[in-house]
Amino acid sequence: MHKLVIVDDEYLVRLGIRETIDWAANGIEVIGDASNGKQGYEMIKELNPDLVITDIKMPIMNGVDLVKTLHKEGFNGEIVVLSGYKDFEYAKETFENGIFSYVVKPIDNDELLEVVLRAVAKLEQKIKDRTLTSKVQTELPTLQSEFMKKLLSSNSFVGSDIPSELSNHDISLPTNGTMALISIEEMFKSKKSELNIYINLLKEALSKEKIAFVDFDFQDSIVMFLNSNDIEKISLICRDTFIPFEQKTLTALTVGLTLYSSLEYIQKTYESCLKLVQSKLLFHLNTVEMELDDQTSYRHRQSISQFYSIIAEKYSMQLTVRSVSDEMNVSESYLMHLLKDNLGKTFNEILTGYRIGIAKRLLLSGKYRINEVSDKVGYIDVKYFSQVFKKIVGVTPSDYQGHDIG
């Protein structure tokens, strides 16, 4: 039932509107009537009706002032104004304040009912529109994330105008900057809710550094677009945020960072981030620009990809700069500069980080003793392995494996 309040200074008019029209049969309930605008205003504020029928000329507060006040305060219902022929010019002012319609006195019941029912139809449409808008606003982030995942990880948009596709889905991204892909291991999916807390901490830290971002939740990972090319600063912020998360939850987390120079390249950028994550080089960075016509940049990308493959395949062996550079057919100097200039780390830092990342997974699997894990990740000396592990993770392998952390 829609609720109706009647405001008119003539008692017989109020009585006639209330009693001579079968409101209930039309889904309407008269919940009150008032003899002047002030009394009507107070009643409307208290009862919050869907519909108001009000006269124009009334003592204390007239109908025009009542309509103006309700409009100013954001009344969401529909208002029908009653006016005599001589009051029509005066009544027209109410149209500027959002009334639905007017009925000229003396009142014809059929005409008044027809106008009120049209007001009800408009009211119901507004309710539907608000519900739809609310639903769209609620579901929009999910819909946008689904679109972004399809855009980045499928071939459906090859050759498309990416900026236009983004605009069509009401998505605004930095035109260039850094993409971050944050992924949690399959065996730790139950920690996703805790990860979200740290994602919010990351957002706060980025905001403090005045780094704007747009993020999308892909369920199994989170993708962020940041309007900064300072990939080293972003890396440090990620480390400061997520290392405590790993230590507290004993969860293996992987972050891939890649610069992009144009929105046209974000699919290639995502592939680069995904490769970093899949290779499980924890927190290691790919800073190579996605300029596909730059042959020098292309060579670096190829070399870095080859380096990753060797590390991922042979991390358990006694690798050195020389052995890896020989396999890549490059000089030791070239390899060291390639890693430092493009990944921001030394050969040993990258190798150690990768080995410890694998060790964490092996320890948490519960299938191996510490000495077995040490051997599997390339450390002959278990004591030295434990020292390196504690330096990077913050706890000993035995504490990490036994979850013995306060």
Residue with tokens 């009211």: 123
Q: pLDDT value at position 50?
A: 94
90 and 36 inside one domain: yes
Q: What tokens were used for 85?
A: 């022929």
pLDDT (tens digit, 0 to 9) for every residue of the chain, 406 residues total?
899 999 999 999 999 999 999 999 999 999 999 999 999 999 999 999 999 999 988 999 988 899 889 988 989 899 998 887 555 566 565 565 567 787 888 889 999 999 999 999 998 888 887 766 666 566 777 788 888 888 888 777 766 788 888 888 888 999 999 999 988 766 556 677 778 888 899 999 999 999 999 999 886 788 999 999 888 788 888 878 887 776 677 666 778 888 888 888 888 888 888 877 776 544 433 322 223 333 445 566 678 778 877 888 889 999 999 999 999 999 999 999 888 887 778 999 889 988 988 888 788 778 899 999 999 999 999 999 999 999 888 889 988 877 543 3
Tokens 């380096």 belong to 307
What pLDDT was estimated at residue 91? 58
116 and 59 inside one domain: yes
Query: Residue 137: inside a domain, yes or no?
Result: no
Residue 263 and residue 330 in one domain:
yes
Same domain as 254, residue 177? yes
Question: Does the residue 158 lie in any domain?
Answer: no
Same domain, 6 and 121: yes
Residue 322 falls inside a structural domain: yes
> How many residues in the chain?
406
Which H/E stretch holds residue 143? helix 109-153
Question: Is residue 311 a contact partner of residue 351, using CB atoms and an 8 Å limit?
Answer: yes
Asked whether residue 210 falls in the same domain as residue 114, the answer is no
Q: Where among 100, 128, 156 does a domain terminate?
A: 128
Q: Are 57 and 10 in contact (CB under 8 A)?
A: no
Name the amino acid, one letter, at 309: S
The domain boundary residue, chosen from 97, 128, 159: 128
Same domain, 180 and 250: yes
Which strand (E) or helix (H) includes residue 322?
Answer: helix 321-328
Q: Is 348 inside a domain boundary?
A: yes
User: Are 373 and 242 in the same domain?
Assistant: yes
Does residue 160 fall inside a structural domain?
no
End of a domain among 101, 128, 155?
128
Can you give the CATH number for the domain in which 88 is found? 3.40.50.2300
Same domain, 180 and 295: yes
Q: Does one domain contain both 224 and 92?
A: no
Is 162 part of a structural domain of the chain? no
For residue 299, is it within any domain?
yes
Cα–Cα distance, 380 to 398 (Å, whole number): 17
pLDDT number for residue 293: 32
121 and 232 part of one domain = no
pLDDT in the model for residue 356: 87
What span, in angstroms and rounded, lies between the C-alpha atoms of 78 and 98? 8
Residues 21, 113: contact at Cβ < 8 Å?
yes
Please tell me what DSSP assigns to residue 87: G
Q: How far apart are CA 245 and CA 404, in angstroms?
A: 15
**Total count of domains within the chain:** 2
**Is beta strand 2-7 parallel, antiparallel or unpaired with respect to 213-217?**
unpaired
CB 79 within 8 A of CB 70: yes
pLDDT at residue 344, rounded to an integer: 74
Distance from the first to the final alpha carbon of the chain: 59
Domain of residue 18, residue span = 2-128
CA-closest candidate to residue 176, choices 317, 289, 299: 289
Q: CA torsion angle for 359, 252, 260, 141 (degrees, to 10)?
A: 160
Considering the domain architecture, whether residues 216 and 124 belong to the same structural domain is answered as: no
Q: What is the CATH number of the domain that holds 321?
A: 1.10.10.60
Would you say the pTM of this structure is higher than 0.85? no
In-domain check, residue 337:
yes
148-172 exposure pattern, b = at least 16 Cβ within 10 A, e = fewer: bbebbeeeeeeeeebbeebeeeebe
β-pairing verdict for 101-104 and 177-184: unpaired
Q: Which of 85, 66, 86, 80 is nearest to 111 (CA)?
A: 80
